[in-house]
Amino acid sequence: MVSMSYLARVDLLTGEGIVSKCGRCAKSAGSGGSFRAGASHFEISPATPPRADLTTTATTDDYDTTFGPYKTGKMGDASVTASSWRLVERGRVVLFKKGQYAGKLAAIAQIIDHRRVLVEGFSSDASKVVPRHAAPLAYVTLTGIVIPKVPLGVGHTALQKLWNNEKVEEKWANSKTAKTSAKLMRRRQLNDFERFKVMVLRKQARFETRKTLASSRGKKA
Protein backbone atom coordinates (compact mmCIF):
# COMPACT_ATOMS: atom_id res chain seq x y z
CA MET A 1 0.00 0.00 0.00
CA VAL A 2 1.05 3.59 -0.45
CA SER A 3 1.96 5.15 2.89
CA MET A 4 -0.05 8.18 3.97
CA SER A 5 3.13 10.12 4.76
CA TYR A 6 4.32 9.72 1.18
CA LEU A 7 0.98 10.86 -0.22
CA ALA A 8 0.98 13.90 2.08
CA ARG A 9 4.48 14.84 0.97
CA VAL A 10 3.52 14.64 -2.67
CA ASP A 11 0.44 16.77 -2.07
CA LEU A 12 2.44 19.46 -0.24
CA LEU A 13 5.11 19.64 -2.92
CA THR A 14 2.88 19.65 -5.99
CA GLY A 15 -0.24 21.39 -4.77
CA GLU A 16 -2.61 19.33 -6.95
CA GLY A 17 -0.28 16.50 -7.92
CA ILE A 18 -1.64 13.10 -8.89
CA VAL A 19 -0.18 9.86 -7.65
CA SER A 20 -1.31 7.12 -10.01
CA LYS A 21 -0.65 3.43 -10.55
CA CYS A 22 0.52 1.91 -13.75
CA GLY A 23 -1.75 1.90 -16.83
CA ARG A 24 -3.55 -1.26 -15.75
CA CYS A 25 -5.09 0.25 -12.61
CA ALA A 26 -4.52 4.02 -12.61
CA LYS A 27 -6.57 5.98 -10.13
CA SER A 28 -6.36 9.57 -9.01
CA ALA A 29 -5.39 10.41 -5.46
CA GLY A 30 -6.46 14.03 -5.70
CA SER A 31 -10.08 13.23 -6.58
CA GLY A 32 -10.98 10.76 -3.86
CA GLY A 33 -9.56 7.66 -5.59
CA SER A 34 -8.42 4.64 -3.60
CA PHE A 35 -5.43 2.36 -4.01
CA ARG A 36 -5.56 -1.40 -4.03
CA ALA A 37 -3.20 -3.23 -1.72
CA GLY A 38 -0.29 -4.98 -3.36
CA ALA A 39 0.16 -2.57 -6.30
CA SER A 40 3.31 -3.16 -8.29
CA HIS A 41 4.60 0.40 -8.84
CA PHE A 42 3.48 4.03 -8.88
CA GLU A 43 4.20 7.07 -11.02
CA ILE A 44 4.10 10.72 -9.90
CA SER A 45 2.69 13.13 -12.47
CA PRO A 46 1.79 16.70 -11.38
CA ALA A 47 -1.51 18.09 -12.61
CA THR A 48 -0.71 21.80 -12.26
CA PRO A 49 2.25 23.67 -10.77
CA PRO A 50 1.82 25.38 -7.39
CA ARG A 51 0.47 28.90 -7.36
CA ALA A 52 3.35 31.29 -7.95
CA ASP A 53 1.88 34.03 -5.76
CA LEU A 54 1.97 31.79 -2.70
CA THR A 55 5.42 30.22 -2.83
CA THR A 56 7.76 31.64 -5.46
CA THR A 57 8.13 34.00 -8.37
CA ALA A 58 9.82 31.44 -10.63
CA THR A 59 8.19 30.63 -13.97
CA THR A 60 6.56 27.35 -14.93
CA ASP A 61 9.57 26.56 -17.12
CA ASP A 62 11.53 25.93 -13.93
CA TYR A 63 9.05 23.37 -12.67
CA ASP A 64 10.43 19.86 -12.30
CA THR A 65 7.81 17.44 -13.64
CA THR A 66 9.51 14.46 -12.01
CA PHE A 67 9.70 15.48 -8.37
CA GLY A 68 7.25 18.37 -8.14
CA PRO A 69 9.15 21.30 -6.57
CA TYR A 70 11.04 23.92 -8.52
CA LYS A 71 14.44 22.61 -9.51
CA THR A 72 16.14 26.01 -9.74
CA GLY A 73 15.82 26.78 -6.05
CA LYS A 74 14.60 30.32 -6.73
CA MET A 75 13.09 32.07 -3.73
CA GLY A 76 10.16 34.46 -3.72
CA ASP A 77 10.60 38.18 -3.21
CA ALA A 78 10.20 39.29 0.41
CA SER A 79 10.06 42.78 1.83
CA VAL A 80 11.32 43.37 5.38
CA THR A 81 10.21 46.52 7.17
CA ALA A 82 11.57 47.80 10.46
CA SER A 83 9.26 47.67 13.45
CA SER A 84 7.74 50.86 14.81
CA TRP A 85 8.26 49.79 18.40
CA ARG A 86 10.22 51.99 20.80
CA LEU A 87 13.39 50.09 21.54
CA VAL A 88 15.54 50.08 24.65
CA GLU A 89 18.78 51.53 23.28
CA ARG A 90 21.58 53.90 24.13
CA GLY A 91 20.37 57.48 23.76
CA ARG A 92 16.69 56.67 24.27
CA VAL A 93 15.08 59.30 26.50
CA VAL A 94 12.90 57.82 29.23
CA LEU A 95 10.33 59.27 31.60
CA PHE A 96 10.23 58.02 35.18
CA LYS A 97 6.70 56.96 36.08
CA LYS A 98 7.37 56.01 39.70
CA GLY A 99 10.07 56.10 42.32
CA GLN A 100 11.90 59.11 43.71
CA TYR A 101 12.48 60.51 40.19
CA ALA A 102 8.86 60.24 39.00
CA GLY A 103 8.02 62.78 36.29
CA LYS A 104 11.67 63.44 35.38
CA LEU A 105 13.50 62.78 32.11
CA ALA A 106 16.71 60.83 31.64
CA ALA A 107 18.70 59.28 28.82
CA ILE A 108 19.88 55.67 28.65
CA ALA A 109 23.68 55.68 28.79
CA GLN A 110 24.16 51.92 28.90
CA ILE A 111 22.07 48.74 28.96
CA ILE A 112 23.02 46.63 31.97
CA ASP A 113 20.73 43.64 31.42
CA HIS A 114 17.17 42.85 30.36
CA ARG A 115 15.79 44.53 33.49
CA ARG A 116 18.09 47.46 34.26
CA VAL A 117 19.62 50.38 32.40
CA LEU A 118 22.14 53.05 33.35
CA VAL A 119 20.42 56.45 33.05
CA GLU A 120 21.27 60.09 33.61
CA GLY A 121 19.15 63.20 33.15
CA PHE A 122 20.04 66.86 32.71
CA SER A 123 18.03 70.05 33.09
CA SER A 124 18.43 73.76 33.61
CA ASP A 125 16.23 73.28 36.68
CA ALA A 126 18.25 71.64 39.44
CA SER A 127 15.14 69.92 40.82
CA LYS A 128 14.69 67.97 37.55
CA VAL A 129 18.24 66.61 37.31
CA VAL A 130 18.54 62.81 37.51
CA PRO A 131 21.94 61.59 38.73
CA ARG A 132 23.56 58.65 36.98
CA HIS A 133 22.31 55.39 38.44
CA ALA A 134 20.99 51.95 37.49
CA ALA A 135 17.22 52.17 37.03
CA PRO A 136 14.77 49.27 36.61
CA LEU A 137 12.96 49.29 33.29
CA ALA A 138 9.72 48.82 35.21
CA TYR A 139 10.17 52.34 36.62
CA VAL A 140 10.47 54.16 33.28
CA THR A 141 8.47 54.75 30.12
CA LEU A 142 10.19 54.93 26.74
CA THR A 143 9.58 58.21 24.92
CA GLY A 144 9.83 58.88 21.20
CA ILE A 145 12.98 60.99 21.61
CA VAL A 146 16.33 59.37 20.81
CA ILE A 147 19.75 61.01 21.11
CA PRO A 148 21.68 59.70 18.09
CA LYS A 149 25.23 58.36 18.07
CA VAL A 150 25.65 57.79 21.80
CA PRO A 151 28.94 55.87 22.12
CA LEU A 152 29.44 52.81 24.27
CA GLY A 153 30.44 53.75 27.81
CA VAL A 154 29.64 57.44 27.33
CA GLY A 155 30.68 59.70 30.19
CA HIS A 156 28.86 62.47 32.03
CA THR A 157 30.25 65.41 30.04
CA ALA A 158 29.83 63.78 26.62
CA LEU A 159 26.25 62.72 27.34
CA GLN A 160 25.35 66.19 28.62
CA LYS A 161 26.73 67.75 25.44
CA LEU A 162 24.69 65.38 23.26
CA TRP A 163 21.61 66.10 25.40
CA ASN A 164 21.96 69.85 24.91
CA ASN A 165 22.69 69.57 21.18
CA GLU A 166 19.55 67.48 20.68
CA LYS A 167 17.42 69.99 22.67
CA VAL A 168 15.71 67.20 24.57
CA GLU A 169 13.81 69.43 27.00
CA GLU A 170 12.41 71.58 24.20
CA LYS A 171 11.31 68.56 22.17
CA TRP A 172 9.69 67.02 25.22
CA ALA A 173 7.81 70.22 26.12
CA ASN A 174 6.31 70.37 22.60
CA SER A 175 5.31 66.70 22.50
CA LYS A 176 1.72 65.56 22.91
CA THR A 177 2.67 63.19 25.73
CA ALA A 178 4.20 66.00 27.78
CA LYS A 179 1.13 68.21 27.35
CA THR A 180 -1.16 65.39 28.43
CA SER A 181 1.06 64.63 31.43
CA ALA A 182 1.00 68.30 32.43
CA LYS A 183 -2.81 68.31 32.36
CA LEU A 184 -2.99 65.19 34.51
CA MET A 185 -0.48 66.61 36.97
CA ARG A 186 -2.48 69.84 37.20
CA ARG A 187 -5.68 67.89 37.89
CA ARG A 188 -3.99 65.96 40.69
CA GLN A 189 -2.95 69.21 42.36
CA LEU A 190 -6.48 70.69 42.47
CA ASN A 191 -8.16 71.26 45.83
CA ASP A 192 -11.81 70.48 46.59
CA PHE A 193 -13.18 73.84 45.48
CA GLU A 194 -11.22 73.78 42.22
CA ARG A 195 -12.49 70.26 41.44
CA PHE A 196 -16.05 71.51 42.07
CA LYS A 197 -15.53 74.36 39.59
CA VAL A 198 -14.22 71.88 37.00
CA MET A 199 -17.35 69.76 37.47
CA VAL A 200 -19.65 72.77 36.96
CA LEU A 201 -17.77 73.89 33.84
CA ARG A 202 -17.95 70.40 32.33
CA LYS A 203 -21.71 70.28 32.95
CA GLN A 204 -22.14 73.64 31.23
CA ALA A 205 -20.06 72.45 28.26
CA ARG A 206 -22.21 69.31 27.92
CA PHE A 207 -25.40 71.39 28.06
CA GLU A 208 -24.20 73.75 25.30
CA THR A 209 -23.16 70.80 23.14
CA ARG A 210 -26.54 69.09 23.49
CA LYS A 211 -28.42 72.35 22.83
CA THR A 212 -26.45 72.97 19.62
CA LEU A 213 -26.98 69.39 18.47
CA ALA A 214 -30.73 69.57 19.15
CA SER A 215 -31.08 72.85 17.24
CA SER A 216 -29.21 71.43 14.23
CA ARG A 217 -31.51 68.39 14.17
CA GLY A 218 -34.57 70.66 14.32
CA LYS A 219 -33.37 72.66 11.31
CA LYS A 220 -32.85 69.48 9.27
CA ALA A 221 -36.37 68.27 10.12
Give tens-digit pLDDT for 19-53.
444 444 444 444 444 444 444 444 444 444 544 44
The CATH 2.30.30.30 portion of the chain extends over 92-184
Span 132-138, mean pLDDT?
96
26: left (phi over 0), alpha (psi -120 to 50) or beta: beta
Cα atoms in the Cβ-side hemisphere of radius 13 Å centred on 156: 6
CB atoms within 10 A of CB 119: 26
56 CB neighbour count, 10 Å cutoff: 20
pTM listed for this prediction: 0.54
Sign of torsion, CA 79 80 85 90? negative
Instruction: List the CATH code of the domain at 92-184.
Output: 2.30.30.30
pLDDT of 143 > 50? The answer is: yes
The phi-psi region of residue 163 (left if phi > 0; otherwise alpha if psi is between -120 and 50; otherwise beta) is alpha
pLDDT at 200 over 80: yes
Radius of gyration for the chain, computed over Cα atoms and rounded to the nearest angstrom: 34
